[in-house]
Structure 1
Amino acid sequence: MTTSTKTEDLFTYLDETAQFLEENGSVTYLEGIAEAGENLFREELCQTLLPDQAQILKEKLDLIRKEEFKAEEIRKAFQLVVLKGMKGAIQPHHSMTPDAVCLFISYLVNKVYGKQKEQLALLDLAAGSGNLVSALLNQATFPLQACGFEVDETLLKLAYVSANLQKHELQLFHQDSVEPIALLEVDLVVTDLPIGYYPKDGTAKTYELQATEGHSFIHHLMIEQAIKKTKAGGFLFFVVPNFLFESGQAKQLHDFIKKEANILGLLQLPKSMFKSQQAGKSIFMLQKKGEGTILPKQALLAELPSFTKKEALADMMKQINKWFENELHIL
C-alpha cells in the first residue's frame, strides 16, 4: 500500500471540498478552491451551509488541519488543483506558469541577486493565482518582499489564500496594472505576460508603446509599465511569446527597450511544453540602465532542452553560469 505525500493530501482536501461546494453551493470549482483554502487557514468553515453539508466539510477539514505543510508543498498542491480547475474554465486568461518555468526563473533571479543581504522589492504585474510569485518567494536566497496585480477577482482570491497558507507577506492589488499604479519603484519585476490587445485606448495613449492605429498590445504596454516601475539597475524577467519581435509594432518595442534597458538574454522554452509552435514562449531578461550596469558584449540566446532531460539541462545551466560570469561578472 502506497502512502500519499503531503502535497497529495492537500490536493485531495482542496479538490474534494471545491467539488462539494460547486455541487452544493453557487460557486465555481475555482472559487471553491479559494473557499477550501480559507477554511483551512482559519481552521473553521466560512460558508453558511445546511447542518448535514457542514458536517461533511468539517470532517474533511478535521482530517487535514492538524497536518504541517511546507510552503512548497502548499504551492504545488494549489498549482495542481488550480490547473484542474482551469481545464474546465472557458476564460482564455485563466492559465498558469508551469512549475518548471517558475523554478527556472527562480534560479535566474537567484543568480543575479543571490548574495544580496538587504530586502528587495519584487513586482508581478499579472499575478494570476500566484504560482510564479510564490515560487520566487519560496526559492529566493535573499530577503524578498513582493506585490502583485491581478484583474481577475477569482485568481486574485486564489493567490491571496495560497499566500496566507504559505505565510507569505504578499501585497495583492485587484487592479488592471496597465492603468496608473501608485507604487514605489521596485528592484525586480517578474511577470508571465498576458498576450493580446489592450481594449482601453485612452489609457494606452499615455504610453510610448501605444499603437499608431487600432488597439495596442497589452504585452508591450506591460513591458513599458514594468521598466517605468523598476529602479535603475534593477532586473526584469518576462515570459513572452516567441513572436514578440515579429509583429508590425516590433521595431517600436525594440527601440524603446534599447533606450531604457540592456537586453541580457532570450531563453526559448522547450518546444515540448507547448501544443503548437505558435504557442511557444521564451524567458526575456533585461536590466534597466543605470550607474554601473554592464551591457553584455553577447546577449544570452539559447533554446532550453526539455526540463525532463537532466543531463542536457545541467549542461545548459553550466553554460548559463559561465555567461553570467564572463558577461556580467556574476559568479
Structure 2
Amino acid sequence: MDKIENLFNKFIDCVELLQNALNVSFSEALTETFDNLENEQIKVELGAPDKETVVQLSEKYQQLHYEDLSQKAKVQIFTFLTLKAINEDDLDPNQMPTPPVISTIIAMFMQKLLPDQGLTIIDPAIGSGNLLFSVVNQLKNANHSKADFNLFGIDNDEDMLNFADINAHLNGLEIELFNQDALTPWFCSEPDVVVSDLPIGYYPIDENAENFVTKAEKGHSFAHLLFIEQIIKNLAQGGYAFLVVPKDILSGKTGSDFMPWLSEKVYLRAIIELPDNAFQNKFNQKSVLVFQNHGKNAKSSEVFLTKLDTLKKEEDLIKLNVKLNEWYTKNIH
C-alpha cells in the first residue's frame, strides 16, 4: 500500500503541473495526463503546455515507470485520482465510484442468472465506469458468456465519460459511450442486461418527466424512479437489470407506491439490503435490486431477500453465495 500511496502522490504532481500549465480543471488535466502516458507522448496544442513544462512533465513521467506498472495498479491509481477529481472539482456526488464489494455481489448474481452466451450490457449512469468494468472483469475471469460482451455507457457529464473511456482502456475493454440525458431515447436498443448504480435525487426537467408514469404528482420527480422506468422500457424481453438503488424506494411511503407498480411491470428476482455501515449516513443507505423483464419464457419466482450486516470479511460473501445457490436451485434451475 505504501508503494501505491507513493505513486499516487507522484501522479498528483503530474496532474497538478499540467492543470496549472493549461489552466483547466483537475478532471481535464487527469484525462490529459493518462492520454499522454498511454500514447507515450505529451500533447501540445497552440503552444500549451509550454516547452519548459513539457521538459518538467517528461522528467516526472519517467519517475512513474508507467510502462512497468501492472494493469491492476494503473486502474487502482486512476480510481483514486478520479475520487480526488470529483472532490477537487466539486462534481456531483452521484458520480462517486461504486464500492468494489458491490460489484462482486452483482457479479455473483449475474453468473447465476445470465445465459452463457454473448450479451449486450449497458450502464445508463456510467460515471467513471468502475461498477460496469469491475463486474465485466469478474465475469470474464469466470469465463462467463465466453467473455463475449458488447458494452455501452450513457452519461450526461462529459468529464465522467472521458474518465470512463480511459478506465475502459486501462481495463482492456471496448465500450461505446454516449453523452446524453439517459431519460431521453437510447441509441442502444434492447440490451440484454442493465447494470447501474442509479443517481439519487430530483430530475430537473419536468417537461420530460411528464413522459413517465413514475413522475411526481407535483414538483420535481425522483430521478432514480424515472431511471428504473426507462430501463424497463428499453430492456430486451426477458432481459435482466442489476441496480444499486436507494433503500427507501423498496419500503416506506415511496416503496408503498412504487413497489406494487414495479411488481406488475417485471419479475422481481432479488433484493439485497446492503450493510448500514457501508454508507456515511442513513440517508445514503442502498440496496441491490435485481429484476427480469417479461417475455422470452420468463416467469415469476420466489424473491431472494436478504440483509447483509457486514461485508468486511470474505466469509460474508461466501455465506451470501451459499444462500444464492440454495435459492437458485429451488426457484430458477
What is the TM-score of this pair, normalised by structure 2?
A: 0.89
Q: Percent identity?
A: 29
- Map Cα deviations across residues 280-308 of structure 1 (whole Å, 9 max, x no partner): 111011011123223113x1111124222
Contact in 1 for aligned 2:199/2:223 (Cα 8 Å)? yes
Which residue of the other structure, out of 10, 14, 39, is the alignment partner of 1:17?
14
Contact in 1 for aligned 2:248/2:255 (Cα 8 Å)? no
Sort the Cα spacing of 1:247 and 1:134 in 2 relative to 1 into closer, same or farther, 3 A: same
Report what 1:170 is aligned to: 175
Within 2, Cα distance between the matches of 1:64 and 1:80? 18
Report what 1:83 is aligned to: 83
1:209 and 2:206 correspond: no
Report what 2:49 is aligned to: 49
Structure 2 residue identity aligned to 1:105: I
Structure 1 residue identity aligned to 2:51: P
1:325 and 2:326 correspond: no
Q: Runs of 5+ in structure 1 lacking a partner?
A: none
Q: As a proportion of its length, which structure holds more helix?
A: 2
Q: Secondary structure at the match of 1:35?
A: helix
Which residue of the other structure, out of 232, 237, 248, is the alignment partner of 1:227?
232
Contact in 2 for aligned 1:18/1:31 (Cα 8 Å)? no
1:124 and 2:123 correspond: yes
Report what 2:105 is aligned to: 104
1:255 and 2:280 correspond: no
Report what 2:61 is aligned to: 61
Sort the Cα spacing of 1:164 and 1:230 in 2 relative to 1 into closer, same or farther, 3 A: same
Report what 2:308 is aligned to: 304
Q: Secondary structure at the match of 2:43?
A: coil
- Map Cα deviations across residues 214-236 of structure 1 (whole Å, 9 max, x no partner): 22111011101111111111110
Q: Secondary structure at the match of 1:232?
A: coil
Q: CA deviation at 1:110?
A: 2.0
Q: CA deviation at 1:153?
A: 1.4
- Map Cα deviations across residues 117-136 of structure 1 (whole Å, 9 max, x no partner): x3200010100011111112
Q: Runs of 5+ in structure 2 lacking a partner?
A: none
What is the TM-score of this pair, normalised by structure 1?
A: 0.89
Contact in 1 for aligned 2:152/2:188 (Cα 8 Å)? no
Q: CA deviation at 1:75?
A: 2.7
Q: What RMSD in Å do the two structures reach over aligned CA positions?
A: 2.2
Contact in 2 for aligned 1:121/1:186 (Cα 8 Å)? yes
Within 2, Cα distance between the matches of 1:111 and 1:16? 44
Q: CA deviation at 1:103?
A: 2.4
Report what 2:317 is aligned to: 313
Moved more, 131-140 or 248-257: 248-257
Sort the Cα spacing of 1:136 and 1:285 in 2 relative to 1 into closer, same or farther, 3 A: same
Contact in 1 for aligned 2:122/2:152 (Cα 8 Å)? yes
Contact in 2 for aligned 1:147/1:170 (Cα 8 Å)? yes
Moved more, 160-169 or 262-271: 160-169
Sort the Cα spacing of 1:311 and 1:182 in 2 relative to 1 into closer, same or farther, 3 A: closer
Structure 1 residue identity aligned to 2:170: L
Report what 1:182 is aligned to: 187
Give the paired residue count: 322
